[in-house]
Chain A
Amino acid sequence: MTFEYLAVFSPLLGFIISFLFGKKIGARGSQIVTCGLMFVAAFSAINLFFSVILGGTQYVVPLAEWVSSDFFSANWALRFDTLSVVMMCVITIVSTCVHVYSVGYMSHDPHRSRFMSYLSLFTFAMLMLVSADNLLQLFFGWEGVGLASYLLIGFWNTKDSANSAAMKAFIVNRVGDFGLALGIMACFVVFGSINFETIFAGVESKQDLSVNFVGFDVHALTLIGLLLFTGAVGKSAQLGLHTWLPDAMEGPTPVSALIHAATMVTAGVFLVARFSPLYEYAPIALMVITIFGACTALVAATIGLTQFDIKRVIAYSTMSQLGYMFFALGVSAYGAAIFHLMTHAFFKALLFLGAGSVIHAMSDEQDMRNMGGIWKKIPFTYAMMWIGSLALAGVPLFAGYYSKDMIIEVAYADQTWFGDLAFTFGIIAAALTAFYSWRLILLTFHGKPRADKHVMDHVHESPPVMTAPLLVLAVGAIFSGAVFYNGFVGGHHDAHHGEAAVHAEVTPHAGDDMHHDTHAEVAHAEEGHHDLFAALNDRNLFWQNAIKVLPENDTVDAAHSVPFWVKKLPILMSALGIALAYIFYLVAPSLPALFSKAFKPVHSLFFRKWYFDELYDYIFVKNSLRLGLWFTWADRRIIDRFGPDGFANASAFVAKCSSRFQSGFIYQYAFVMLIGLVLAMLWIAPFDFSGLIDVLKSNFGK
């Protein structure tokens, strides 16, 4: 049981120690503590990976009660199944690399302790996210990684651009969280629980349920699916809520590698994969996911073509690759999506850290227009960037080849219009990906040096503390595809196995009833232990029940028998992209300028990022401020004016009027009294003056 705790809580401990006692133990102390604890976490996670894969067990470690209000209850708990241990391995390995790399990269920064502590905080939150066994803990991790991202993007907090980017990341993500939160509530209302087990067990019986949402009767599972996906759109920077990701590059480069490439942004992919039992019964939600993913893959790639900031190019590449993962999810190829998530984590972290190494070497220059001709000076980094790019472009034998091609194949195999759309966009984006990857390499490393002499003299290879992590990631970027292909997406589909094990669960935990326990026993009896080779060669053994695919939706199976041209097309497109990049940036360097002039509107559309930022600024930011000012005015001029101030003024006015009567002059008082007397008499005896007249006559009329 100790590995479970070590894997998740070591980073937390690292965070607490280096955050609270960073001053006492010094920067070096913080680095040693956080890195050491990350090694512990990574080791534990790998251990867990093997025990879950080999043991064929899935289980939940309950920790404590969190929120409990009547039926709405959520516990702190750690859930271990294939999906979560795969994620944990990716997170801890990449995070360890980034921790170590940061020791070198941030060596001149005065706030190294704080930086290391934030990295560990992020890792902890991410681990809590993937090991959640209920939606609320997932939400905790979800917001926790958002917080860490906010803190790290704005790490250089005297820079205005960094502060803006941090705020933007937080707020745009909150838009997604809004959907996720509603999704959690919808889950609670539909299933009466927010525990994964209860939800997944209830999906089948609710597959025809309609619920009322804001006045419309909608299919319950589709509603939940779409609301949860809204969260994923925000966190995973899909089209519409992606604008924060490129800006997030304001953070230090290790942050970009860890959070904005390898792990946090893939949380949305994880969420959808985790909810595969639900999405399988929500085909419309899956369709939406496919379309979003396909469009994101293409749009991001087009923007990536035109950017000059080395990190932004990679950021758009990340966004594009996330699009790939999403359309894989959308066609029910959850295994393929997670497979690409893993390989992508390695090669994209490698690319980012490599870019960091370049930036480090170039005295913090990020604009590729000011680079060039440095490959001989930093050969190791150059080689690493090549490996990363080869993997990204999907060149055979590198990791991306296995995962990305698989995704394109499943999109084809889906045989629906949106599957075809995704396939087409995916193919085009593949060529664009190869093009911008080599554009990056050629602009950065080749050609004539465009930096000034002072900078060029300082170009140097990074210290071993930075190159060693690159090496580890490079190993992943090369081999992770070939080694894990069969486990993630290989093997034959066994419908019977899949069906039988659908609800198989899990060591009993709080709130589980007898029903589940019996299932768990059945599952154990059926599966038992198997050897590593078998597990890594059959996706059913590998995934067990962590993801669920209905037999008729099993595109991964169908993808193994797609036509020959479908299998070969992605490689062809990549080759085309690479060749074009060579022509554009090495053979005839005047071509890009010519092209951008000839296709001016298209180029500016791409270069200005499809005008999303301008649009949002105009619609949301400006109007919120305008409304805020208007409401402030309304508070003063409407509510106060007719409320308390009006009341006060009115009573003051009345008081003023009545005070006129108290002038202090006797004759005025006497006059008023006289008038009053007359009026009173008139009132008592209206129009009857006969008596008065008689009296007057008798006295004066003589």
Chain B
Amino acid sequence: MFDLPVLSLMTFLPLVGVLFIVSVRSTDEEVMARNAKNTALFTSLFTTALGVYLAMQFDPADAGFQFVERMEWFPSLGISYYMGVDGISLFFVLLSAFLVPICILASWHSIKTRVKEFMIAFLILESLMIGTFCALDMFLFYVFFEAVLIPMFIIIGVWGGARRVYSAYKFFLYTLLGSVLMLVAMLVLYAQVGTSEIPVLMENPVVRDLQIWLWLAVFASFAVKMPMWPVHTWLPDAHVEAPTAGSVILAGVLLKMGGYGFLRFSLPMFPEASEVFAPMVFWLSVVAIIYTSLVALVQEDIKKLIAYSSVAHMGYVTLGIFTATTQGIEGGIFQMISHGLISGALFLSVGVIYDRLHTREIGRYGGIVKNMPKYATVFMILMLGSVGLPGTSGFVGEFLTLVGIYQVDTLVTLFAATGLIVGAPYMLYLYRRVVFGKQVNDDAAKMSDLNLRELSLFIPLVAMVIYFGFFPGYILDRINPSVDRLISTYESGLQKGEMRRAALLEAAQVKPAAGLDTQAVGTVPAFAPVHTDDAMDGGDLPMPIINYNE
């Protein structure tokens, strides 16, 4: 149906750009840098163009995976190169493709050393990000998901600020810990169900007790990426030390991998465990919203402040996703996209003044509305988006998640909705201290307003923040069918679990001593064999490789 392998093209085009950059050799440092920048920009722009094509060809009514590509990879193990997007992943792919050229443009002058390597790292990062959101094979996903860590680690560690090494290692340590557990979970899942194809796995949940363990294992990975409280402390450090472009991509795309993981793995594959752990997630999210908002209030470092605000905004996402309601999940996805735009742009705007004054300390600025009126306007709109004012995209996501959670638990809602209150002061206070007030620092008073290059970075972002605030339909209409499908998968998973337990209970009552070990039947064994009628409705699945009862 689709002749063009768009997803593979989008994923690997940046790597072609890398090849170009590597293959040009010159003794002149400047020529190499310029070549690298131009190549990176054009490759990423071309990827964006492919993204536009993808968005236009995407069928909004289709809930399933589109643009599916499939090639054998490890045929003996049944692992394949399997790509596709649905409404849930589409916008993350687009967001990645959209933000990378902006990041490259933002680094045009601010990256002065090892320009070539920086551009290479960024293109590799883009390739891996897009791959993560397109992968439909669990192990393929894992490879992309984990590999993202490497270029990001390098970007922070090489082009970062003074404490970059500490931050880079902290980032690495946190995320690695989660990934190891996730790999174990994937191997167990593979062993149990016998396939690594995500769509099949979604339809075949394992037994409840195993779900609990696997859920916790993947949660460790996604919660760190998100990041959820209390495993969020790597984020402020990483943001503070990362170069502007690194921060943008970190806040804009990398954090969304956690939420995407919850949507792809936790909710559909482990529905019963998700139900069990949902209250825990809710309260962690509520703590994140309130705790980090208050922490943000007392920060003196602009980037740290915005980083903490990210944690609070991601709190809404986790809250929404685990409500398993249409509004909650759609709100969560929308919030992620909106946060990608807003916080990405906020980090860009921090970069703008950092480039001029080389400090992130709030107290060093003040009254810059006088010499930077355009900047003040852009920053104002972004601030309002972050606060979640209706008419910006920030509102839609936040409000929908709250509508979702209200249907599930009003007490949680009561606390989460205080985010409306505590979410405002820190941004207003930041704005007041940086943009308004008297000009106390002569250097800050002399900063020049946004130039054409910077304006061209902000205008698309700001336009989208406002457009999606007034007309979120473009996004909501496309994610809706897939979300409905996700919810029905989730609910049928719960039903299957219910039936399975009922069947076991019945078996225990009907033939208590029919040659079976009574003790084992009375309590559901942790590694029970897969019931053929459950696991096999996927069709022609290979038999489970390991049966733990043997």
Q: Which residues of A contact B (CB under 8 A)?
A: 64-70, 72, 76, 136, 139-140, 143-144, 147, 154, 157-158, 160, 163, 167, 170-171, 174-175, 177-178, 181-182, 185-186, 188-189, 212-215, 624-625, 627-629, 631-632, 635, 639-640, 643-644, 647-648
Contact = CB atoms under 8 A, between A and B. Distances in A.
Given A140-B390, A643-B233, 16 more contacts: A69-B476, A140-B391, A143-B389, A143-B391, A144-B390, A158-B437, A158-B438, A167-B432, A181-B402, A181-B417, A182-B417, A188-B403, A215-B411, A624-B294, A643-B174, A644-B174
Given A144-B390, A154-B436, A174 B421 contact: yes
A154 B435 CA distance: 12
A160 B428 contact: no
Given A174-B424, A178-B421, A627 B294 contact: yes
Given A65-B473, A66-B471, A157-B369, A628 B298 contact: yes
Interface in B390-416: 390-391, 395-396, 399-400, 402-403, 406-407, 410-411, 413-414
Given A64-B471, A182-B413, A632-B299, A171 B424 contact: yes
Contacts of A136: 390, 399
Interface in B415-442: 417-418, 420-422, 424-425, 428-429, 432, 435-438
17 contacts: A65-B471, A67-B476, A70-B326, A72-B327, A72-B403, A143-B391, A157-B369, A158-B437, A174-B421, A177-B420, A178-B421, A181-B402, A181-B420, A625-B297, A632-B298, A640-B233, A647-B173
A339 B294 CA distance: 43
A171 B425 contact: yes
Nearest to A156: B436
A235 to B, nearest CB: 14
B437 A644 contact: no
B511 to A, nearest CB: 43
A157 B297 contact: no
A69 B331 contact: yes
Name the residue in A69, A167, A214 with the highest tally of chain B Cβ atoms < 10 Å from its Cβ: A69
Contacts of A627: 294
The 9 closest A-B pairs by CB, nearest first: A628-B298, A70-B326, A185-B406, A140-B390, A628-B294, A157-B436, A628-B297, A214-B411, A631-B295
Contacts of B460: none
A177 B331 CA distance: 19
Interface in B323-367: 326-327, 330-331, 367
**Main secondary structure on chain A at its contact with chain B?**
helix
A66 to B, nearest CB: 7
Nearest to B171: A644
B234 A181 contact: no
B432 A163 contact: yes
Contacts of B395: 143
Contacts of B413: 182, 185
B297 A624 contact: yes
B230 interface: yes
Nearest to A179: B417
Nearest to A642: B230
Contacts of A158: 367, 370, 436-438
Contact of A67 (B389, B396, B406): B396
B463 to A, nearest CB: 13
Contact of B421 (A72, A147, A175, A644): A175
B231 interface: yes
Contacts, number: 143
Given A163-B436, A640-B233, A67 B298 contact: no
Contacts of B331: 69
Contact of B428 (A139, A167, A214): A167
Given A158-B367, A185-B402, A143 B294 contact: no
Nearest to A621: B425
Contacts of A157: 369, 435-437
A68 B473 contact: yes
B476 A139 contact: no
B168 to A, nearest CB: 12
Interface residues of B, number: 62
B107 interface: no
Nearest to A629: B298
B400 A67 contact: yes
B170 interface: yes
Name the residue in B417, B421, B435, B472 with the highest tally of chain A Cβ atoms < 10 Å from its Cβ: B421
A182 B395 CA distance: 14
B410 A66 contact: no
Nearest to B425: A171
Interface string B120-131: 000000000000
A692 B477 CA distance: 86
B295 A170 contact: no
Contacts of B472: 66-67
A170 B476 contact: no
Nearest to A140: B390
Contacts of A212: 410
Contacts of B367: 158
B291 interface: yes
B421 A171 contact: yes
B480 interface: yes
A629 B298 CA distance: 6
A145 to B, nearest CB: 11
Nearest to A194: B403
B467 interface: no
Contacts of A632: 295, 298-299
A648 B407 contact: no
B295 A628 contact: yes
Given A69-B480, A214-B414, A648 B327 contact: no
B420 A178 contact: yes
A144 B435 CA distance: 21
B297 A69 contact: no
Contacts of B432: 154, 163, 167
B424 A170 contact: yes
Interface string B279-292: 00000000000011
Interface in B471-505: 471-473, 476-477, 480, 484
B185 interface: no
A503 to B, nearest CB: 26
B384 interface: yes
Contact of B410 (A64, A69, A213, A643): A213
B169 interface: yes
Contacts of A648: 169, 173
A624 B399 CA distance: 24
Contacts of B231: 643
B173 to A, nearest CB: 5
Given A67-B472, A631-B294, A144 B410 contact: no
A571 to B, nearest CB: 43
A158 B425 CA distance: 19
A541 to B, nearest CB: 35
Contact of A147 (B230, B295, B389, B473): B389
A186 B402 CA distance: 11
A69 B437 contact: no
A186 B410 CA distance: 9
B407 A69 contact: no
Contacts of B396: 67
Nearest to B291: A631
Contacts of A628: 294-298
Given A144-B391, A185-B413, A160 B400 contact: no
Contacts of A178: 417-418, 420-421
Nearest to A636: B233
B470 interface: yes
B375 to A, nearest CB: 14
Contacts of A139: 390
A177 to B, nearest CB: 6
Nearest to A212: B410
Contacts of B390: 136, 139-140, 143-144
Contact of A185 (B174, B369, B403, B480): B403
Interface string B530-545: 0000000000000000
